[in-house]
């Protein structure tokens, strides 16, 4: 079974996740650290828990989810994996940082690309990859069936969905990603979101005001 710790970082209150199993091998997903104190918070936790990071993963490449990529890559020398369609957005992050007035060290480019249907292995555990565009190009979600866990990035939130008014956003694509991919998962799966609290597939299918199992505002 996997364990998970969420950190809320940067001015956008983005959720960064560290996920590990009994082997103590860990993934760092969407590192959003924007200053030295947030970097220390993440690294101190990893040290205190005796974890060994083995992957850096971006669910998508909006600025708030990649601010810590450079730190993680240099600190832990792990391979960086993302969907190939996320690269253009990643390259736009410096421009976004200037617009928002947020310090940004830049990001390395992915070492590897990952596609829907592939698996990401760490320790004795595995995440299956879903391709869920609409909020951002190249958006993926990570699914661990054994722990009934989904790391969803900014596709689906507790009572909301990802915005579609940023470059590459598409409401129809997001609706399809949620209804056809996310809602195809069992109701009891916990969804760990890119912002805000966790939710469940069943709750969102039943009551999400933007996209339920049968209807959408788009």
Residue 213 pLDDT = 72
Write the pLDDT tens digit of every residue in 92-143: 999 999 999 999 999 999 999 999 999 999 999 999 999 999 999 999 999 9
> For position 212, what pLDDT does the model report?
81
What does the alpha-carbon distance between residue 92 and residue 88 come to, in Å, rounded to a whole number? 6
Closest C-alpha among 55, 168, 172 to residue 119: 55
Q: Give the residues of the chain that fall short of pLDDT 50.
A: none
Which CATH number is 3-207's, of 1.10.1060.10, 3.60.20.30, 3.60.15.10, 3.30.210.10? 3.60.15.10
95-129 burial string, b = 16+ CB within 10 Å, else e? ebbeeeebebeebeebeeebeeeeebebbebbbeb
Q: Kindly list the domain boundaries of the chain, sorted by start residue.
A: 3-207
Does the global pTM surpass 0.85? yes
Q: Quickly tell me which residue has 């009934």 as its tokens.
A: 148
From the list 141, 140, 193, 139, the residue with the least C-alpha distance to 169 is: 139
């Amino acid at each position: 079974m996997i364990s998970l710790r969420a950190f809320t970082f940067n001015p956008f209150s983005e959720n960064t996740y560290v996920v590990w199993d009994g082997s103590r091998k860990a993934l760092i997903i969407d590192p959003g650290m924007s200053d030295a104190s947030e970097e220390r918070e993440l690294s101190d936790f990893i040290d205190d828990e005796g974890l060994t990071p083995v992957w850096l993963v971006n669910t998508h490449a909006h600025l708030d989810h990649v601010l810590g990529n450079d730190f993680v890559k240099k600190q832990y020398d792990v391979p960086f994996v993302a969907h190939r369609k996320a690269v253009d957005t990643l390259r736009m992050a410096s421009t976004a940082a200037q617009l928002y007035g947020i310090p940004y060290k830049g990001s390395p480019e992915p070492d590897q690309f990952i596609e829907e249907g592939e698996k990401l292995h760490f320790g004795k555990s595995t995440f299956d990859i879903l391709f869920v565009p609409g909020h951002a190009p190249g958006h993926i979600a990570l699914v661990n069936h054994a722990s009934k866990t989904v790391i969803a990035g900014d596709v689906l939130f507790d009572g909301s969905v990802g915005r579609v008014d940023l470059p590459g956003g598409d409401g129809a694509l997001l609706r399809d990603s949620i209804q056809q991919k996310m809602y195809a998962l069992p109701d009891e799966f916990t969804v760990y979101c890119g912002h805000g609290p966790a939710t469940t597939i069943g709750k969102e299918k039943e009551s999400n005001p933007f996209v339920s199992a049968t209807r959408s505002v788009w």
